[in-house]
């Protein structure tokens, strides 16, 4: 009997439970992954969603039925699977997670040896087609399940990004949003000389305070209020599987991920001049300006699999997306939601500056709209119309990902999401907040559609 494969996206698996993802499909994914990769041992784990343990169990059964040994690390963040796959030398890794999607969603992210991503360009289509056909040959079975406590090695890796002696006296609000970040932050709390203020700390798959997604403005007040109440130096909030972190300065101001990309790019280039920095095409001017002659700014299509593949091909030291995905060469070229905020507090301590002082000048130089989502019935027609309307007298029009149009003093990118049925708009300008806002309003009026 064929199976529904609508949960397969451009670079991962994500869909509603049980219609688009259920135990039968998870079992078949285990069989298909084994058939494609032919691994001997795979590491698996899952996020805090209520459906995750059962889906993971079915996935493990599918792998075992194919003769694959499984090492299970339990509830974890996505980056812990990346770390374990690379650090312990497994043949592959799978995490069951739907990140920041609604509570009735779940999904999977897959990697092969060395934590190399499995995306549409590197095996995900073959796995999807095998799941859809659901006609697997007889397999030997007999794969074993082992447990692994990886957390100590992972925490040791994270601590290598900071100078512990310089962090003393700092106060940080930490808001996992009831997601998977809480246990990791708890472990870090025992090692870092920092005063932590915990918010929504308990892992809870019912999402009692809403789906953990700090990109939604309505989810930010608890972090902002805790910063003000406790006179904190920084606020950090994570999405559900903590492959992204979001930063708030000492005034409770939400700092767009775009400016953190620039901040980290500058930090890496100060240490290693001439390095390559990979960025996405949505917002670019600040990053390109910072990299300047110090290094090599390389544009990649949006999405974790695409960024990682480009970083490997260029041997880039760091990659960043304005959506708060940050990638590190010495973290197996993978994204992490823990490394960025640790690097930021390390910068704050070493330079004796507040976060606002580190980013204010760049925010004024290149004001941006932040990402704005709209539900559009015919995204392809919209992009074609915007190209005809805005591309004629533009300095450049390019289509690395969606449509990017650049003028002398402002630019925009509009693209269809790889994971949700929405169109995403980003606008930036050179030094003019009013121009940026004017063009943002103009484009939104032209686009129409409903807020998403």
Locate 310 and state its tokens: 């480009």
Catalytic residue from among 99, 276, 323, 404: 99
H or E stretch covering 255: strand 254-255
Provide the pLDDT for residue 303.
85
Is the per-residue pLDDT at 411 higher than 90?
yes
Tell me the mean pLDDT in the region 39-57. 98
Q: What is the pLDDT of residues 119-167, one digit of tens each?
A: 888 999 999 999 999 999 988 889 999 999 999 999 999 999 999 999 9
Q: Which residues contact 243 (CB under 8 A, 6 or more apart)?
A: 77, 78, 79, 99, 304, 325, 335, 336, 337
Is the per-residue pLDDT at 179 higher than 80?
yes
Three-state DSSP at 327 gives strand
List domains and CATH numbers for the chain.
13-149 (3.40.120.10), 171-254 (3.40.120.10), 257-335 (3.40.120.10), 372-451 (3.30.310.50)
Q: In what order do the strands lie in the sheet with 254-255?
A: 195-198, 171-175, 234-238, 245-248, 254-255
Other Cβ atoms within 10 Å of 190 Cβ, number = 7
Taking the whole predicted model, whether its pTM rises above 0.85 is answered as yes
Tell me the mean pLDDT in the region 388-412. 97
Provide the pLDDT for residue 234.
98
99 in active site: yes
Confidence category of residue 1, pLDDT binned at 50, 70, 90: confident
Q: What is the pLDDT of residues 199-243, one digit of tens each?
A: 999 999 999 999 999 999 999 999 999 999 999 999 999 999 999
- Asked if 322 and 257 touch (Cβ cutoff 8 Å), the reply is yes
Q: What is the pLDDT of residues 336-380, one digit of tens each?
A: 999 999 999 999 999 999 999 999 999 999 999 999 999 998 999
Q: Cα–Cα–Cα angle for 165, 168, 173, nearest 5°? A: 130
């Amino acid at each position: 009997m064929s199976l529904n494969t609508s949960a397969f996206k451009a670079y991962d698996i994500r869909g509603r439970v049980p219609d688009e993802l259920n135990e039968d499909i998870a079992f078949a994914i285990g069989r298909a992954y084994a058939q494609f990769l032919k691994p001997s041992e795979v590491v698996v784990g899952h996020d805090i969603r209520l459906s995750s343990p059962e889906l993971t169990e079915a996935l493990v059964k599918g792998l075992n039925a194919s003769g694959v040994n499984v090492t299970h690390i339990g509830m974890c963040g996505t980056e812990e699977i990346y770390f374990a796959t690379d650090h312990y030398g497994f043949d592959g890794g799978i995490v069951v997670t739907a990140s920041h999607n609604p509570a009735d969603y779940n999904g999977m992210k897959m990697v092969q040896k060395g934590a190399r991503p499995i995306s549409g360009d590197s095996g995900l289509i073959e796995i999807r087609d095998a799941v859809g056909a659901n006609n697997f040959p007889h397999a030997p079975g007999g794969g074993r399940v082992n447990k692994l406590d990886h957390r100590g090695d992972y925490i040791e890796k994270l601590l290598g990004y900071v100078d512990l002696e310089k962090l003393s006296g700092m106060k940080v609000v930490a808001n996992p949003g009831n997601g998977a970040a809480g246990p990791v932050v708890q472990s870090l709390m025992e090692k870092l000389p920092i005063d932590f203020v915990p918010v929504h700390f308990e892992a809870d798959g019912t999402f009692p305070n809403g789906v953990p997604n700090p990109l939604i403005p309505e989810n930010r007040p608890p972090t902002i209020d805790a910063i003000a109440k406790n006179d904190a130096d920084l606020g950090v909030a994570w999405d559900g599987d903590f492959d992204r972190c979001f930063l708030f300065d000492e005034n409770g101001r939400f700092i767009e991920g775009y400016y953190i990309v620039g901040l980290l790019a500058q930090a890496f280039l100060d240490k290693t001049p001439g390095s390559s920095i990979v960025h996405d095409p949505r917002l670019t001017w600040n990053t390109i300006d910072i990299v300047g002659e110090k290094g090599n700014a390389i544009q990649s299509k949006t999405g974790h699999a695409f960024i990682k593949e480009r970083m490997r091909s260029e041997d880039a030291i760091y990659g960043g997306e304005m959506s708060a995905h940050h990638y590190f060469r010495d973290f197996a070229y993978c994204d992490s939601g823990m490394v960025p905020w640790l690097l930021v507090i390390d910068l704050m301590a070493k330079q004796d500056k507040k976060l606002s002082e580190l980013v204010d000048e760049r925010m004024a130089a290149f004001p941006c709209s932040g990402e704005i989502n709209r539900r559009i019935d015919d995204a392809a027609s919209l992009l074609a119309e915007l190209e005809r309307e805005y591309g004629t007298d533009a300095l450049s029009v390019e289509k690395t990902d969606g449509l990017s149009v650049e003028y002398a003093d402002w630019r925009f990118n509009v693209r269809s999401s790889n994971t949700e049925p929405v169109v995403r708009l980003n606008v930036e300008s050179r030094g003019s907040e009013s121009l940026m806002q004017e063009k943002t309003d103009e484009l939104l009026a032209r686009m129409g559609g409903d807020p998403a």
